[in-house]
């Protein structure tokens, strides 16, 4: 390899590529980011989705939990995430009466009473507190390890030191555990949701455990917060920091191949440019990286969600009578009972779009109205972010447009079950993203929001020491969601890939 053009080339300008670039540039390395699109940010952008309205919605990812405070501090990001007082609201109809399960972020009287209406024996409420108490302790012990080299399974199990919780979080299917702790199908489903976001799996598949863990370990609390200013604020802050550190960001630069030899690595772009570097960091999915290297792509689950962004003229009224400012302030679950999840999973596996889509939803503007112009705020406009589950990419393969419409109707019907008037009457703007739309826009293979299947945050006993970002080529690292401990808005694989490179002799 001839003289390198820079120390490190980063393929893809998602938030993880930007985090990696920031750590490397601050350590004095020369870095170039090549981004295929005309904008950086990948799955963490905010956009003015509806040209007639001055509203900037988080187009793909929308809540933050996994981004360690340490990364925000290290990089000096002016980026704030806001806590929500309400954790979740789940409407239900029993014995002809409309009601709902309200769970506050901190256990309080309203939560206690809400559980008691569902289960006067008090058993579900007690189980809830015990279950999440155990998980909180578990999460606190795992979170600090995420920015260090991977521990082995045995090392992490010993460090955590909670053998019973380890057993039910890591070794036994989470579906069995949830059914052991909770009796009520609706409560079971609220708990199970965190195991299935972006993961097309049965409750009894260990892949669901991994997803569950990622949804409950962020910053040691598992709390999902609202990014102030929208998800795009994270990207604009990262861009500021990397530019100040001297990183070159090259837009509309699609990488078409990656190769290496003993002395360095080389990438080629669709414009015919060849760039040599000491190392290449891949912010693209491992499946895409394999193709760029001329290798067979690793197997992975496909994406299985519909993302629907809505601008509302006003919040809808609920049949249960709860104030919508409370119901939509946290995560709103519709048709996500345990039994519904299992049955929809089975039918989607057989190629059927859910008739009543299990979905979760939240209203960004109740916590942070700053994404709307003052005029829209004054008029009472709000946003709704709807995430529909168990809609795998294969359901869209034969006719994406037609399936998108069927999926949308299923999602709206699912929500309308609990509203006094149909949501359609209140919509000022709506955009719908299927897994195939997401793949076409930002390159997530088959729309998998985590790039590929999530991994447990440890390496198996007897394997080589690692940061979870290495490939079989010592010049090429993964700095994106597809790394071990990647997935979600976290910056963790970006940080870890930078540390892996910095721990090497750059020659």
Ligand X SMILES: Cc1cc2nc3c(=O)[nH]c(=O)nc-3n(C[C@H](O)[C@H](O)[C@H](O)COP(=O)(O)OP(=O)(O)OC[C@H]3O[C@@H](n4cnc5c(N)ncnc54)[C@H](O)[C@@H]3O)c2cc1C
Radius of gyration of the chain (CA): 23
- Nearer to ligand X among residue 186 and residue 395 (C-beta): 395
Kindly state the smallest distance separating residue 443's Cβ from ligand X, in Å.
Answer: 3
Asked if residue 328 lies in contact with residue 384, where contact means CB atoms within 8 angstroms, the answer is yes
- Nearer to ligand X among residue 111 and residue 269 (C-beta): 269
Neighbour tally for 110: CB within 10 Å: 13
- Nearer to ligand X among residue 186 and residue 481 (C-beta): 481
- Nearer to ligand X among residue 318 and residue 449 (C-beta): 449
Kindly state the smallest distance separating residue 467's Cβ from ligand X, in Å.
Answer: 15
Q: Candidates 6-14, 108-116, 146-154, 204-212 — which segment interacts with ligand X by CB under 6 A?
A: 6-14
Element (DSSP H or E) covering residue 84:
none
Kindly state the smallest distance separating residue 319's Cβ from ligand X, in Å.
Answer: 27
**Structural tokens at position 423:** 């949501």
Neighbour tally for 197: CB within 10 Å: 18
- Contact string 463-492 vs ligand X (x = CB under 6 A): -----------------xx-----xxx---
Bridge partners (DSSP) listed for residue 308: 386, 432
Counted residue by residue, the chain has a size of 507
Kindly state the smallest distance separating residue 13's Cβ from ligand X, in Å.
Answer: 5
Strands (E), 323-381: 331-334, 359-362
- Nearer to ligand X among residue 4 and residue 17 (C-beta): 17
| # chain residues binding ligand X, by CB under 6 A | 36
Cα–Cα distances in angstroms (integers) from residue 345 to residues 186, 356, 358, in the given order: 16, 12, 10
386 lies in the site for ligand X, by CB under 6 A: no
- Nearer to ligand X among residue 36 and residue 376 (C-beta): 36
Task: Report the distance separating Cα 43 and Cα 64, nearest Å.
Answer: 13
498 lies in the site for ligand X, by CB under 6 A: no
Task: Report the distance separating Cα 411 and Cα 168, nearest Å.
Answer: 32
Task: Report the distance separating Cα 501 and Cα 104, nearest Å.
Answer: 43
Task: Report the distance separating Cα 283 and Cα 17, nearest Å.
Answer: 5
Kindly state the smallest distance separating residue 84's Cβ from ligand X, in Å.
Answer: 13
Task: Report the distance separating Cα 358 and Cα 388, nearest Å.
Answer: 6
- Nearer to ligand X among residue 173 and residue 303 (C-beta): 303
330 lies in the site for ligand X, by CB under 6 A: no
444 lies in the site for ligand X, by CB under 6 A: yes
Task: Report the distance separating Cα 203 and Cα 176, nearest Å.
Answer: 8
- Nearer to ligand X among residue 276 and residue 307 (C-beta): 307
Furthest-apart CA atoms within the chain: distance in Å: 76
* Residue of 88, 288, 320, 382 that binds ligand X (CB under 6 A): 288
User: Among candidates 16, 502, 1, which has minimal Cα distance to 282?
Assistant: 16
List binders of ligand X among 11-50 (CB under 6 A).
11-17, 34-37, 42-44
* Residue of 29, 32, 105, 307 that binds ligand X (CB under 6 A): 307
List binders of ligand X among 64-123 (CB under 6 A).
66
Cα–Cα distances in angstroms (integers) from residue 440 to residues 93, 270, 383, 448, in the given order: 39, 17, 25, 12
Q: Candidates 22-30, 60-68, 176-184, 321-329 — which segment interacts with ligand X by CB under 6 A?
A: 60-68
* Residue of 23, 62, 89, 341 that binds ligand X (CB under 6 A): 62
- Nearer to ligand X among residue 186 and residue 234 (C-beta): 234
Q: Candidates 55-63, 138-146, 155-163, 496-504 — which segment interacts with ligand X by CB under 6 A?
A: 55-63
438 lies in the site for ligand X, by CB under 6 A: yes
Kindly state the smallest distance separating residue 224's Cβ from ligand X, in Å.
Answer: 7
254 lies in the site for ligand X, by CB under 6 A: yes
Task: Report the distance separating Cα 186 and Cα 182, nearest Å.
Answer: 9
- Nearer to ligand X among residue 126 and residue 251 (C-beta): 251
- Nearer to ligand X among residue 67 and residue 170 (C-beta): 67
- Nearer to ligand X among residue 60 and residue 182 (C-beta): 60
Kindly state the smallest distance separating residue 470's Cβ from ligand X, in Å.
Answer: 16
Q: Candidates 170-178, 272-280, 339-347, 444-452 — which segment interacts with ligand X by CB under 6 A?
A: 444-452
Element (DSSP H or E) covering residue 208:
helix 206-216
User: Among candidates 37, 75, 48, 43, which has minimal Cα distance to 62?
Assistant: 43
Asked if residue 11 lies in contact with residue 31, where contact means CB atoms within 8 angstroms, the answer is no
Q: Can you spell out the DSSP letters for 236-263?
A: HHHHHHHHHTT-EEETT--EEEEEEETT
* Residue of 283, 365, 383, 410 that binds ligand X (CB under 6 A): 283
Cβ burial, residue 142 (10 Å; 0-12/13-18/19+): buried
* Residue of 443, 445, 457, 468 that binds ligand X (CB under 6 A): 443
Interaction site with ligand X (CB under 6 A): 11-17, 34-37, 42-44, 60-63, 66, 254-255, 283-284, 288, 307, 438, 442-444, 449-450, 480-481, 487-489
């Amino acid at each position: 390899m001839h003289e390198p053009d820079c120390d490190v080339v980063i393929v893809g300008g998602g938030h993880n590529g930007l985090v990696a670039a920031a750590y490397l540039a601050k350590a004095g390395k020369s870095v170039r980011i090549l981004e295929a699109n005309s904008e950086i940010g990948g799955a963490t952008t905010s956009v003015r989705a509806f040209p007639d309205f001055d509203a900037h919605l988080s187009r793909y990812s929308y809540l933050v939990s996994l981004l360690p405070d340490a990364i925000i501090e290290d990089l000096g990001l002016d980026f704030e995430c806001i806590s929500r007082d309400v954790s979740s609201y789940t409407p239900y109809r029993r014995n002809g009466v409309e009601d709902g399960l309200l769970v506050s972020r901190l256990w309080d009287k309203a939560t206690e009473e809400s559980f008691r209406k569902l289960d006067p024996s008090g058993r579900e409420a007690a189980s809830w507190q015990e279950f999440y108490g155990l998980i909180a302790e578990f999460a606190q012990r795992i979170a600090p390890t995420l920015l260090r080299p991977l521990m082995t399974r045995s090392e992490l199990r010993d460090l955590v030191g909670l053998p019973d919780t380890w057993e039910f979080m890591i070794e036994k299917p989470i579906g069995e555990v949830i059914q052991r702790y909770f009796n009520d199908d609706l409560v079971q489903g609220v708990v199970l949701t965190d195991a299935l976001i972006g993961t097309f799996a049965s409750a009894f598949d260990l892949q669901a455990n991994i997803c569950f863990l990622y949804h409950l370990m962020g910053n040691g609390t598992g709390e999902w917060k609202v990014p102030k200013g929208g998800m795009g604020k994270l990207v604009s802050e990262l861009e500021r920091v990397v530019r100040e550190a001297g990183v070159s960001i090259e837009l509309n630069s699609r990488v078409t191949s990656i190769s290496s030899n003993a002395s360095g690595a080389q990438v080629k772009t669709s414009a015919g440019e060849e760039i040599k570097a000491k190392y290449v960091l891949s912010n693209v999915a491992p499946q895409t990286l394999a193709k760029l290297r001329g290798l067979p792509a690793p197997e992975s689950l496909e994406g299985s969600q519909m993302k629907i962004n809505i601008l509302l003229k006003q919040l809808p009224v609920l049949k249960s009578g709860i104030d919508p400012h409370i119901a939509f302030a946290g995560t709103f679950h519709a048709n996500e009972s345990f039994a519904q999840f299992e049955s929809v999973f089975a039918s989607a596996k057989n190629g059927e779009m859910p008739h009543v889509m299990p979905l979760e939803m939240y209203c960004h503007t109740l916590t942070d109205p700053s994404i709307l112009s003052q005029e829209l705020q004054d008029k009472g406009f709000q946003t709704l972010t709807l995430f529909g589950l168990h809609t795998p990419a294969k359901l869209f393969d034969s006719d994406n447009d037609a399936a998108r419409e069927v999926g949308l109707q299923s999602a709206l019907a699912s929500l309308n079950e609990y509203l006094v008037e149909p949501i359609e009457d209140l919509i000022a703007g709506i955009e719908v993203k299927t897994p195939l739309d997401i793949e076409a826009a930002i390159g997530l293979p088959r729309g998998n929001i985590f790039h590929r299947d999530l991994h447990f945050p440890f390496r198996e006993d007897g394997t080589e020491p690692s940061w979870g970002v290495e490939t079989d080529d010592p010049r090429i690292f993964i700095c994106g969601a597809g790394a071990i401990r990647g997935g979600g808005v976290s910056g963790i694989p970006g940080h870890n890939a930078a540390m892996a490179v910095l721990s090497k002799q750059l020659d």
